[in-house]
A and B are shown apart, each in its own frame.
Chain A
Amino acid sequence: MIPAKNGTPAPNNVNCNTKLPNGQTVGQYVNNARAQLQAVVDRQNALAPAGDVNPFSIYTQFASIAKGGGPIDFKNIFAGQASRELLANAGNFAYYAIGEGYIPTTALDLGAGAYGLYGAAVGRFPTSFLTGRFFSDDSARLMRSPGLAANGCPQ
């Protein structure tokens, strides 16, 4: 169990094998998204000899996966079908598990931090809730290490 901030165990612990309401596992979503990132890497490698590499294309692809309404926005996709906390934890876990190895960890933290700062700026939560790296929130903090350690959810 992952310890939560207030000492109580974090409920809804998530890992690669966690099943989502449609029967698919979080790991399957992670694999699909990582396959998209790998395709970008392969394309860039093919273009490298011609010197036509876009170093930002991997970030653009990752942003399209992580954005609100995207393929790992589980709270949106499975709204009303499971606990929002479980779905949010799954989203945070997938975010780090997908990015690991493709996106520098600092950039992942900065992305989560931007979400956290925005939430605090509009008054959704207090700054005391931004307990993660670069002002990422408590939910991101809880799922960061398991997501990064998942090693891309190998099949």
Chain B
Amino acid sequence: MKKVRAGAFLLPLCLFLGCKMKPTKVTRFSGPSTEVFYTVETWEDNGAISSDFTRVFAHFEHNGKSDKVMFLDGAYLALSSVRWSGKDEATICISEGRVNSFKDTLTLKAGGESYSIRNRLDPACRQQQ
């Protein structure tokens, strides 16, 4: 009963003030240089009707500044690899899960410089599993 009361109090508070749960798992994929990399952040939750959710972010660090942009998310997403063809084109291998949203082109800005990346989802990865 205490838990229910706490939930009834905290939920509206979260809705109005905003409270963010931290991801339970973070995996890093290296990029074509040390300045660029991807992270896969997963929020796992138990419960019969709860869902795990994953967000994939691109990071750009330059001149001591950094930028982070989410470009892919979905339920139970798992990435098996990120392959780079040159410095601005990446092929992402999704081994599990369902895509909720995906942005194929993104531009990151940090330290007075911008960096554009074109992402591609490789449909063959799933069949190879």
Contact = CB atoms under 8 A, between A and B. Distances in A.
Interface stretch (A15-23, A39-47, A48-56, A67-75): A67-75
Interface stretch (B57-65, B91-99, B103-111): B91-99
Q: How large is the interface on B (under 10, 10 to 19, 20 to 34, 35 or more residues)?
A: 20 to 34
A119 B15 CA distance: 11
A116 to B, nearest CB: 8
A124 B48 contact: no
B34 interface: no
B98 A138 contact: yes
Interface residues of A, number: 44
Contacts of A66: 48-49
B98 A6 contact: yes
Contact of B53 (A4, A73, A124): A124
Given A121-B19, A123-B19, A124-B21, A85 B49 contact: no
A91 B75 contact: no
B76 A128 contact: no
A68 B4 CA distance: 13
Interface string A61-95: 00000111110111110010001110010011011
Nearest to A117: B11
B35 interface: no
B49 A111 contact: yes
A18 B19 CA distance: 37
A130 to B, nearest CB: 10
A76 B46 CA distance: 6
26 contacts: A6-B98, A6-B99, A8-B99, A11-B96, A11-B98, A66-B49, A68-B50, A83-B76, A85-B76, A91-B47, A92-B49, A115-B47, A115-B49, A123-B19, A123-B20, A123-B21, A124-B21, A125-B73, A125-B75, A125-B100, A126-B101, A129-B51, A129-B75, A138-B51, A139-B51, A139-B75
